[in-house]
Amino acid sequence: MITTRRSPVRGAFRAMLAVLAMPAALAAPAVQAQLPVQEPRVRPPPAGAPVAIDPRLLPPGPTIADWQPRERVPVGGTIVLTGTDLRPADLQVVIGPAKQRLPVRVAESTATRIVIDVPAALYGVRGALVAGYRGTQARTLDGDYVIDELRPRLVAANAGVTYPYVQRAVRLRFAEFPGVRLDGDDVVVDGTCGFRERSKLQYAPVERAADLSIELSISGWFETVGDCELRVTARPLAADGSRLAAFTASAPFTVSAPVDYVIDATLVLQPRLQTALAQFGAGSLCTGTPGGQPVGVLEANGDLVVLVRGGPLDVWCTFRTQPWLLPEGLRLKSIEWGERRVGNRCSIANRVQVLPGTQLTLDRGAVLVRPATEPLPSSFVAFSDFEIVFEGVRYASDLRGPRTLLLPMVFDLHCFSSLTVLQTAEGRFGPTVDPQSFGIVLERVVFSGPPGLTLP
């Protein structure tokens, strides 16, 4: 038996050929090789894109202590910021969700006060009002601020201490005025204060200020007393001179109460009244002391008396006072008269007297005193702020404010002769030797006016 011996080299060669001849799937190793783990790559932001930074990491923004107005600002107005170490040229102020920028008036601003414009184009914008510098923390001033329409209002009405019937220049100040100017002739002042504007005055137009306010003075006086409401209606003027829609605004006002000047001993008024005999009948003894009895303008218990006495002849005596222009603000509050009668032959005359050589009556432009009728105080005065004319008689002109004139007063007295038979409503009376007299007494006068006046 022959035994064949295999060469080891040949066996190894055959094994290698067998492996090369196997399919690829069978040739893959049973365990996969592990690849090294790599960190994900972070792409840098595009050039110029904003980088989100935590605001708390930024330096502090502007130091703003206050801003005005709060909550709202009228369109066309301004916002004023106050603080310390402010930089007007660097400050940025925005409003609303779109962060619309409000322009800063750099030239008018300082390190403690910054003025910001409110353009008309931003009317109606509402949202957060924010201020800050670039690269610093922003300061939210108001989370719900609004650029609003103009709301004109009367913010001040001042005339100093005011008393009734004393002329004052009332200083009016409007805020958020809609026009560019205002003509004082287009202003009407009324309300519950009893304001009366002085007549025959014309006013020049006044211009609106940069803060949308406007001021003007109106001359006049007040006729009521106490707390009241001053109401003003104004018609603004546009830039082209056209008149805009009128508006009405009001403000509280106070008219101080006057004081009373009480005169019980009325003879002290005679230097002012200058009561004197104006006309008398033939043979009438109207002044002096006929028969030892005084007649004419007399005094009784400190009061002013005008008295006549009867006698054998008829007596006709007419006395008249002079007009008295009262001090500014002084008014006649009350006047009281009395009668002094002895017998039944003397009384107030019932006749119309004509001045010699004229067609004018003696009581024209005057008031006839008749105590029994209890005349009202207004019957004895005339009033005006420019010219006082009563029954065609001019007593004052070119006045510079409201004044009251105490009109001339006429005392027309008559006594029938004591030697005749007298027929009256009370009966028929024969001749008499009993005393006969009649007098009118000015018993009390009360004036009302501002304190500090000296009367008479």
Q: For 327-348, how does the pLDDT look when each residue is reduced to its tens digit (9 = 90+)? A: 999 999 999 999 999 999 999 9
Is 356's pLDDT higher than 70?
no
pTM of the model: 0.73
- The set of residues, in sequence order, having a beta carbon less than 8 Å from that of 358 and lying 6+ positions away, is none
pLDDT value at position 29?
Answer: 47
Contact 74, 212 (CB under 8 A): yes
Mean residue pLDDT of the chain comes to 87
Residue-wise pLDDT for 85-108, tens only, equals: 999 999 999 999 999 999 999 999
305 in Cβ contact with 423 (< 8 Å): no
Q: What is the pLDDT of residue 31?
A: 46
Query: Is the pLDDT assigned to residue 6 strictly greater than 80?
Result: no
Please tell me the least confidently modeled range out of 70-74, 76-80, 319-323, 354-358.
354-358
Average pLDDT, stretch 300-310? 96
* pLDDT at residue 50 in the model: 60
Q: Look at phi and psi of residue 176 and say left if phi exceeds 0, alpha if psi is from -120 to 50, else beta.
A: left
Interval 171-197 mean pLDDT: 93
What pLDDT score was predicted for residue 372? 87
Supply the pLDDT for residue 27: 45
Residues 6+ apart with CB under 8 A from 63: 83, 84, 85, 86
Q: From its phi and psi, is residue 17 left (phi > 0), alpha (psi between -120 and 50) or beta? A: alpha
Contact, 105 vs 117, CB < 8 A? Answer: yes
Q: For residue 387, what pLDDT band results from cuts at 50, 70 and 90?
A: very high
* Highest averaged pLDDT of the listed ranges 13-27, 356-370, 426-440: 426-440
Is pLDDT at 7 greater than 60 in this prediction?
Answer: no
Cβ-contact 268, 262 below 8 angstroms: no
Choice between 375 and 133, residue whose per-residue pLDDT is larger: 133
Averaged pLDDT for residues 244-264: 96
- 236 contacts 179 by C-beta, under 8 angstroms: yes
* Domains present along the chain, CATH in parentheses: 59-148 (2.60.40.10), 153-257 (2.60.40), 261-449 (no CATH)
Task: Give the pLDDT confidence score for residue 57 in this predicted structure.
Answer: 72
Provide, rounded to the nearest whole percent, the portion of the chain with pLDDT above 90.
Answer: 73
| Mean pLDDT confidence for 407-419 | 94
Token pair of 187, please?
């202003």
pLDDT bucket at 291, cuts 50 / 70 / 90: confident
pLDDT interval class at 13 (50, 70, 90): very low
- Note the pLDDT tens digit of each residue in 16-57: 444 444 444 444 444 444 555 555 555 666 666 665 566 667
Both tokens of 446, joined, read 């009360």
Interval 388-416 mean pLDDT: 94
